[in-house]
Amino acid sequence: MTSHPVVSVIVPAYNSAPLLRDFLGACLTSEYRDFEVIINDDLRSTDGTRALTEQFRADGLDVTYLRENHSMAQGRKRGAAEARGSILLHLDSDMKVTPGLLGECVELLAGGYDALVIPEEAFGTTFWARCKWLEKKIYDGVEEIESLRCVRRAVYDRLGGHDERMVFSEDKDFDLRVRKAGYAVGRTRNFLYHNEGDLRLQKTMRKKLGYSGTADLFATAHPEAFRWQTNIFHRFGLYLRNFPYAFSHPLLYGGLWVMKVGEFGSGAVGQVRHRLAVRHGGPA
């Protein structure tokens, strides 16, 4: 391995040791070997992530442990500052690379692309996790929803990287800035596994409730994209166009509708709560 790996895989984390064990194990099976992994752990983490990274380093994986993660966007950007590679791959701790993914990223960027979207295959142990699998299938190839994950280091630096102020759709914000700047965005054939775990309906609704209250910054930066994302008819139109899933996976298709109605309702409540708080002198 060279002193400067080609690919830097950057992962913000928060009490994610069990997930990271699978993530780092999958990295060891990568057919492409010239890469490093940077784990940027949250300041509040209390699990054994540091010890876990040391264990994998002893097994031969080029992995660096940071403990300077304050938020998803800041964690990604701080990890990128530490990276030695010319290609940055921003992943989450509940993901796993497939054996051919890193090599394909290198090949596609060498072939003229500046950044890459990577398809996801979701899985989990609950009914709602399987509904998420179906949701991601429906979003496959929809540019308004998917976000790039792999990017040339030079492009990342030129655009200033992730916006540390962003909480809502911080990854889509960077995706939109890359596309607006005119860079070539491609798509891999290899995919990522995304572990939804024991996802519950209440959990996904609470997540939307929290994130939507921080959406104003994204809405100001990307008003057209925000209107598309929050227009219920755009999303539900996608589900209706994929109506054949109602025959192949009828329970999941019905569950998807229940989940998304709940998420949109929670998102609307979060926005109203945020704006009332601002009106009464709360945080913007």
- pLDDT at position 282: 61
Give residue 228's domain range. 7-280
179 within domain boundaries: yes
- Reported as a pLDDT band with limits 50, 70 and 90, residue 192 is very high
- Reported as a pLDDT band with limits 50, 70 and 90, residue 201 is very high
Is pLDDT above 80 for 284?
no
Torsion of CA 94, 98, 100, 101, to 10 degrees: -20
| Dist. CA 97–CA 105, nearest whole Å | 11
216 within domain boundaries: yes
**What percent of the chain is modeled with pLDDT above 90?**
81
pLDDT in tens, 209-260: 877 777 889 999 999 999 998 888 998 999 999 999 999 999 999 999 999 9
- pLDDT at position 283: 56
pLDDT in tens, 89-110: 999 999 999 999 999 999 999 9
- pLDDT at position 268: 85
1 within domain boundaries: no
CATH number of the domain within which 254 lies: 3.90.550.10
For 260, the token pair is 């998304």
- pLDDT at position 116: 98
Continuous H helices in the chain: 17-28, 49-58, 72-82, 101-110, 127-139, 153-158, 170-180, 201-212, 216-221, 223-230, 232-241, 245-248, 250-279
| Dist. CA 173–CA 226, nearest whole Å | 10
- pLDDT at position 276: 82
DSSP 257: H
State pTM to two decimals.
Answer: 0.91
158 within domain boundaries: yes
pLDDT in tens, 119-135: 999 999 999 999 999 99
Structurally, the chain folds into a number of domains equal to: 1
190 within domain boundaries: yes
- Reported as a pLDDT band with limits 50, 70 and 90, residue 1 is very low
227 within domain boundaries: yes
149 within domain boundaries: yes
- pLDDT at position 142: 95
Q: Checking DSSP bridges between strand 63-69 and strand 35-42, what pairing results, if any? A: parallel
> Where is mean pLDDT largest: 177-181, 268-272, 273-277?
177-181
82 within domain boundaries: yes
**Count of CB atoms within 10 A of residue 92's CB?**
18
